[in-house]
Chains A and B, each alone.
Chain A
Amino acid sequence: DVKVTQSSRYLVKRTGEKVFLECVQDMDHENMFWYRQDPGLGLRLIYFSYDVKMKEKGDIPEGYSVSREKKERFSLILESASTNQTSMYLCASSRGLQETQYFGPGTRLLVL
């Protein structure tokens, strides 16, 4: 079974803090994704990565950056957290870009 893990289930940060969200997958998948989920807006893609050190912007990349130094790990970085980044963050991975995506349990981030 594919396992995607995220570093925290719940996180509380203050405005202006730098925030790191980590995601690890154990199935040697090429592709990894970061989404945020908000009530009424559904899931929206922030960034994805199709290889180590490669990244592509999704629909809402503003205010975020990502890092993929190793194949199994994909980090989402909020350089200076703001209250409008309070959300549920979901990481996913897939073998091929057009193949089944497997999701982690999510991180609920609250920015005060």
Chain B
Amino acid sequence: GIQVEQSPPDLILQEGANSTLRCNFSDSVNNLQWFHQNPWGQLINLFYIPSGTKQNGRLSATTVATERYSLLYISSSQTTDSGVYFCAVEDSGAGSYQLTFGKGTKLSVIP
């Protein structure tokens, strides 16, 4: 099946700093989503972005499907950004409509 690798696995930032999270995938995809899981376990969808660039406030994401990676940018980080960020993809060749999740990047933003 498709492989999804996220980097870095852990990230500690000072409040106000910027960061870039990366998601590499092993095959072509027709569905890619970024999620944030807060410390209480709630997963929130950030972006549906199989290709191109999107922005939502301090967050933006870019997927370069031909090169099989996606980037999530967090600017001016806040303590409420802490949690785990997951990338999830659907293998376009599998026909299964299943999302495969990466293992996540754990972000800690300290005051």
| Chain B interface residue number, banded | 20 to 34
Q: Mark A40-66, 1 if CB is under 8 A from B, else 0.
A: 111111001010000010110000000
Shortest Cβ gap from B98 to chain A (Å): 5
| Chain A interface residue number, banded | 20 to 34
B41 within 8 A of A: yes
In the assembled complex, the Cα of A98 lies from the Cα of B102 at a distance in Å of 17
Return chain A residues, CB-CB under 8 Å to B44: 103
Beta-carbon contact of A105 and B31 below 8 Å = no
Return chain A residues, CB-CB under 8 Å to B102: 42
Shortest Cβ gap from B50 to chain A (Å): 8
Tell me if A's interface is mostly helix, strand, loop or mixed.
strand
Beta-carbon contact of A101 and B86 below 8 Å = no
Shortest Cβ gap from B94 to chain A (Å): 12
Q: Mark B28-53, 1 if CB is under 8 A from A, else 0.
A: 00110101000011111100100000
In the assembled complex, the Cα of A100 lies from the Cα of B99 at a distance in Å of 11
A45-B99, A88-B41, A103-B42 in contact; A98/B30 too (CB < 8 A)? yes
A90 within 8 A of B: yes
Beta-carbon contact of B98 and A99 below 8 Å = no
Closest B residue to A40 by beta carbon equals B103
Beta-carbon contact of B90 and A98 below 8 Å = yes
Closest 5 CB pairs of A and B: A103-B43, A97-B97, A43-B101, A106-B41, A98-B31
In the assembled complex, 23 residue pairs joining A and B whose CB atoms fall closer than 8 Å, in A order, are A41-B103, A42-B103, A43-B86, A43-B88, A45-B99, A48-B97, A50-B97, A56-B97, A58-B98, A92-B43, A98-B31, A100-B33, A100-B45, A101-B33, A101-B45, A101-B88, A101-B99, A102-B45, A103-B35, A103-B42, A103-B45, A105-B41, A106-B41
Residues on A close to B: CB < 8 A? Answer: 40-45, 48, 50, 56, 58-59, 88, 90, 92, 97-103, 105-106, 108
